[in-house]
């Protein structure tokens, strides 16, 4: 069964902006929370970046507690998925704490 978020996270109103991702329980440093973005190359060589629900609700902070980690996939075929990014904690996260990321795909 598809679950857009790991069981340790929920979406709630954020003091940063709109809605955000929050820890439902303590999460240890170095935990891979899942995929935030996928980059695909189309047959016409157009690059497309798709955002997952996990990537859609994470707010920006200059003092972030998670990072995006790039993972390369595929076999080099330009039609295949070429990259994906996962969200990884850079320190222990407390229950109820909002997860934040220093944006690199978007201007803030």
Looking at per-residue pLDDT, the higher value among 101 and 76 belongs to 101
Encode burial over 85-103: b for 16+ CB neighbours within 10 A, e otherwise.
bbbebeeebeeeebbbbee
All structural domains of the chain, each given as residue ranges with its CATH number in brackets, are: 10-101 (2.170.270.10)
Q: Give which of 85, 20, 106 is closest to 56, Cα–Cα.
A: 20
**Which pTM was predicted?**
0.80
Give per-residue pLDDT as tens, 31-83: 999 988 888 776 666 778 888 888 889 899 999 999 988 876 655 555 565 78
């Amino acid at each position: 069964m598809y679950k857009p978020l790991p069981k340790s996270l929920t979406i709630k109103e954020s003091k940063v902006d709109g809605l955000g991702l929050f820890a439902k329980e303590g999460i240890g440093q170095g935990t891979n929370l899942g995929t935030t973005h996928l980059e695909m190359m189309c047959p016409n060589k157009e690059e497309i970046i798709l955002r997952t629900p996990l990537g859609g609700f994470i707010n920006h902070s200059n003092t972030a507690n998670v990072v995006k980690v790039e993972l390369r996939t595929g076999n080099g075929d330009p039609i295949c998925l070429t990259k994906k990014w996962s969200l990884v904690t850079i320190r222990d996260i407390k229950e109820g704490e909002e997860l934040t990321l220093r944006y690199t795909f978007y201007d803030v």
